[in-house]
């Protein structure tokens, strides 16, 4: 999840230490995913309504990982984002691994 999206979803309230832990989260495999430079440039700061992986076979996983990061870090999901995520999950396997919650400190 792009740092800009995290910020807009509530990270602006976090302490500097929590923001640093988020940006370098190694406690949840979905937090940092290696992708090609061109894929990363194409995605930029986009959320799923604006960008999805080019391979259709990766889209369900991408949406689930997005939701997992939002849950782990207690980030907000607005109504439009929730509606898009719900539509994007239609036809996906409903099983999802729920990540352990991160410790979030706010100012």
pLDDT, tens digit (0-9, with 9 covering 90-100), for 48-57: 999 988 888 9
- Locus of tokens 């640093």: 20
Residue 33 has pLDDT above 80, yes or no: no
Has residue 94 been placed in a domain?
no
pLDDT of residue 30: 73
Q: Whole domain around residue 27: which residue ranges?
A: 3-89
Which tokens sit at 64?
């689930």
Domain assignment of residue 107, yes or no: no
In a domain, 102, yes or no: no
Query: What are the CA-CA distances from residue 4 to residues 46, 75, 95, 96, 104 (Å)?
Result: 9, 12, 28, 25, 17
What would the pLDDT profile of 41-99 be if each residue is shown by its tens digit? 777 778 999 998 888 899 999 999 999 999 999 999 999 999 999 999 998 998 888 99
Q: Is residue 8 within 8 Å of 48, Cβ to Cβ?
A: no
User: Does the residue 46 lie in any domain?
Assistant: yes
95 in any annotated domain = no
What pLDDT score does 21 carry? 94
Number of domains in the chain: 1
């Amino acid at each position: 999840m792009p740092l800009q999206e995290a910020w807009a979803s509530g990270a602006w309230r976090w302490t500097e230490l929590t923001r640093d832990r988020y940006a370098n989260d190694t406690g949840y495999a979905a937090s940092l995913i290696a992708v090609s430079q061109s894929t990363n440039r194409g995605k930029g700061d986009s959320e799923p309504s604006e960008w999805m992986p080019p391979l259709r076979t990766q889209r369900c996983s991408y949406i689930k990982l997005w939701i997992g990061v939002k849950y782990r870090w207690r980030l907000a999901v607005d109504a439009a984002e929730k509606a898009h995520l719900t539509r994007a999950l239609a036809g996906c396997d409903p099983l999802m691994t729920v990540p352990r919650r991160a410790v979030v400190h706010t100012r």
